[in-house]
Structure 1
Amino acid sequence: MMTQEAAAETILVVDGDVITRTVIAEYLRHCGFRVLEAGTGAEAMQALQHPEFSIDVVLSDVELPGDMSGFDLSHWVRKSMPQVKVLLAGAVERIADTAGDLCEDGPHLAKPYDHRLILDHIKRLRAR
């Protein structure tokens, strides 16, 4: 379990696959994080701009339904909210590698998710 400090952190999980999104969101909640969920880039942007939410980390799939990809969302977050950390995940590692400049460390996560790796990446982002 995480410390009280970690429990105050909010993670936005963005994935068009409701089952994948729900599983990873529940895992992160179990680890002590507050978790919000979005199914599209547009929903994620709404959550990020909502005055009642203070989001610290966005964990997004590279491929999202709708007009906005995870790459587009990451680019928007970096320009609009540079204090928010971004982790991208993709089913094809090569796709994720092409967007390395959009994230603090570049996207490192491959789907299907390894829950321990996600938690490790979030811990490293928080440590910065």
Structure 2
Amino acid sequence: MDDAKAMETLMVVDGEVLIRTELSNYLRHCGYIVIEAASTDEAKTVLAKAQMSVDVVLCDADAPGEVNGFGFASWLRKEHPQIDIILAGTVDKAAQEAAKLCDDGPHLARPYDPTSVSDFIRQRLAQRDRNRKP
């Protein structure tokens, strides 16, 4: 397990329990701390009560809740701008819309395999770390 990754906390927001659980378990196996939420409402509650900082949220664009993944991403950027958001769309069009919402384009097309998600998250975190260095 990579010590650098062990310090990173991810949140997976997806209403489909099998997808959320499989992906979360794989990311834990990769050394990340993973918090799961079944809806955008639950994700907001968890973020409000979190005892640790969350580095990246991976959210299904069609996540259930008062707002969908796109609305959640807008809320997250306003309320927690330090947290990276990656939206996952069921079809390429949804992924393209997610890219428009997230200025720097963090989006994934579903279906995806856990390895590609882990690689994508690793790249996003590395880019974030490079941008933070003076």
Normalising by structure 2, we get a TM-score of 0.87
Partner of 1:97: 96
Identical residues among aligned pairs (%): 46
Long gaps (5+) in structure 1: none
CA-based RMSD:
1.4
Alignment of 1:28-107 (within 5 A): 28-103=27-102, 105-107=104-106
Q: CA deviation at 1:102?
A: 2.9
Q: CA deviation at 1:60?
A: 0.5
56-65 vs 96-105, which moves further: 96-105
Partner Cα distance (1:51, 1:16) in 2 = 20
Q: Deviations over 1:24-78 (max 9, x none)?
A: 0000000000000001001011111214131110000000123210101111111
1:9 aligns with 2:20: no
Do the aligned partners of 2:88 and 2:107 also contact (CA within 8 Å) in 1? Answer: yes
43-52 vs 14-23, which moves further: 43-52
Do the aligned partners of 2:23 and 2:114 also contact (CA within 8 Å) in 1? Answer: yes
Do the aligned partners of 2:40 and 2:67 also contact (CA within 8 Å) in 1? Answer: yes
Do the aligned partners of 1:25 and 1:35 also contact (CA within 8 Å) in 2? Answer: yes
Q: CA deviation at 1:103?
A: 2.5
Q: 1:84 to 1:8 in 2, by over 3 A?
A: same
Partner Cα distance (1:39, 1:75) in 2 = 18
Partner Cα distance (2:3, 2:63) in 1 = 32
Do the aligned partners of 1:96 and 1:107 also contact (CA within 8 Å) in 2? Answer: no
Do the aligned partners of 1:56 and 1:83 also contact (CA within 8 Å) in 2? Answer: yes
Q: CA deviation at 1:115?
A: 1.5
Partner Cα distance (2:50, 2:110) in 1 = 31
Long gaps (5+) in structure 2: 129-134
Alignment of 1:17-36 (within 5 A): 17-36=16-35
Q: Which is helix-richer, 1 or 2?
A: 2
